[in-house]
A and B are shown apart, each in its own frame.
Chain A
Amino acid sequence: MSRMRPLSSVAAEAGTRFGRPNERHRPGHKAMLVAVTLFFTLAAPAFADSLLPAAEYADTQLPDPRQERQAKALMETVRCLVCQGQAISDSDAEMAGDMRALIRQRIQAGESPDQIRDWLIARYGNWVTYDPPLEPVTWPLWGAPILLLLAGLWLARGRFRRRKKP
């Protein structure tokens, strides 16, 4: 299955690989490398992203610092849908920008971060949040460390006992 993915990261990688011509290369090679670099750096974003400008508030802070703080905190816990494994606050993907804009606009309109998170979860499932709710499926995430700690203490209990003098 092929899906639209931000190619700019791939291009950036390819760009640096082709973009630092070795000093020993002849000028013809250099021109070639520049052409290849230009091809990757210029063409790839046009394939991956639309030609429309970034959404309002995708990269602009809200005028109210308190609201911006709330929005930023939420964005750091919302997962990017196309660059999976990144939070939308860290992602350069266009879709992440659109999601940042959505969050900022809703915060500005007076919605609480929890309402917006619930709205996103209703559409994308718990997958979309890095702050998963406590549920039967997720309780091992909280329970396992406590259980392991207790088990460790129990195993080590002999060490804490004062040794009897012989």
Chain B
Amino acid sequence: MKRRLILWAPLIVFALFVVVVAVGLYAPADRAIQSQLIGQPVPEFALAPALPGRPGLSSSDFRRGEPRVVNIFASWCIPCRAEAPQLAELERRGVPIDGIAVRDRPQDLLAFLAAWGDPFRTIGADNDRRVQLELGSAGVPETFVIDGNGIIRHQHIGAINPQDVPAIIAAYEAAR
């Protein structure tokens, strides 16, 4: 009898394997890649201004004692248009927003800001995507909350929808 049970063992192991694979296949896919830098200092970088006559952005800007929100965006990114009203709402509620424009041209950026609003205090030009990769960001748009000591506190992946605004404001307040 014991021998019989042992002969079933491979089938049982295989059935377990099928269950594990099926659970993995049918679970909703989570394709968001969190930055591993949350809780870590902002990496060193210095971005030239994306628009003439406006300030650029460098990592030293994040060590001035006040928290800041950094929005990684691009004029060629469609979801970035969808989150524009939410960025305007954040600005209206006193949240300072810095921009990192990924692979953008000044003329496209100007048209984008004219059409969808301009909540940015500074806009750095990340033309080779180096700073986006440096921050552990995997796409546009993404938004980081960084505290006054330059520690990354929060990452929002994807466009900021109206229901996401309170979480961002809470993260900003918590970073004070």
Q: Which of B33, B77, B134 contacts A4 (CB 8 A)?
A: B77
Q: Select from chain B the residue with minimum beta-carbon distance to A2.
A: B79
Determine the chain A residues whose CB is within 8 A of the CB of B27 once the complex forms.
none
Q: Is the CB of A82 within 8 A of B138?
A: yes
Contact assessment for B139 and A55 in the assembled complex, using a CB-CB cutoff below 8 Å: no
Pick from B6, B33, B37, B130: contact of A127, CB under 8 Å? B33
Q: Which residues on A sit within 8 Å (CB–CB) of B113?
A: none
Q: Which of A50, A81, A94 has the most CB of B within 10 A?
A: A50
Q: Are B130 and A124 in contact (CB under 8 A)?
A: no
Please state if A95 and B159 are interface contacts (CB–CB under 8 Å).
no
> Does A46 make an interface contact (CB < 8 A)?
yes
B10 interface contact, C-beta 8 A: yes
Q: How far is the CB of A47 from chain B (nearest CB, A)?
A: 6
| Residues of A127-162 whose CB lies within 8 A of B | 127-128, 148, 151-152, 155
| A84 beta carbon closer than 8 Å to chain B | yes
Asked, given contacts A4-B79, A82-B138, A155-B6, whether A99 binds B36 with beta carbons under 8 Å apart, the answer is: no
List A contacts of B157 (CB < 8 A).
1, 3
Inter-chain CA distance A60–B13, complex, in Å, is: 48
Question: What is the CA–CA distance of A135 and B160 in the complex, to the nearest angstrom?
Answer: 35
Once A1-B157, A102-B130, A123-B133 are accepted as A-B contacts, the answer to whether A50 and B103 lie under 8 Å apart by CB is: yes
Task: List chain B residues, Cβ under 8 A from A124.
Answer: 33, 35-36, 136, 138
Give Cα A152 to B34, complex, Å.
40
Q: 8 Å CB contacts to B: which residues of A83-110?
A: 84, 94-95, 98-99, 101-102
Q: With the chains together, A101 CA to B37 CA distance in Å?
A: 22
Q: Which residues on A sit within 8 Å (CB–CB) of B135?
A: 123
B35 touches A52 (CB 8 A): no
- Whether A102 contacts B159 in the complex (CB less than 8 A), given A50-B102, A94-B103, comes out as no
Q: Does A49 have its Cβ within 8 Å of any Cβ on chain B?
A: yes
B138 proximity list for chain A (CB < 8 A): 81-82, 95, 124
Task: Write 5 A-B pairs (CB below 8 A) sorted by A numbering.
Answer: A52-B103, A55-B129, A124-B36, A127-B33, A151-B10
Residues of A within 8 A of B (CB): 1-4, 46-47, 49-52, 55, 81-82, 84, 94-95, 98-99, 101-102, 121-125, 127-128, 148, 151-152, 155
Other contacts beyond A81-B138, A99-B133: 4, CB < 8 A: A81-B139, A101-B128, A123-B136, A124-B35
Closest 10 CB pairs of A and B: A123-B136, A50-B103, A81-B138, A98-B129, A1-B158, A52-B103, A2-B79, A50-B76, A125-B36, A3-B139
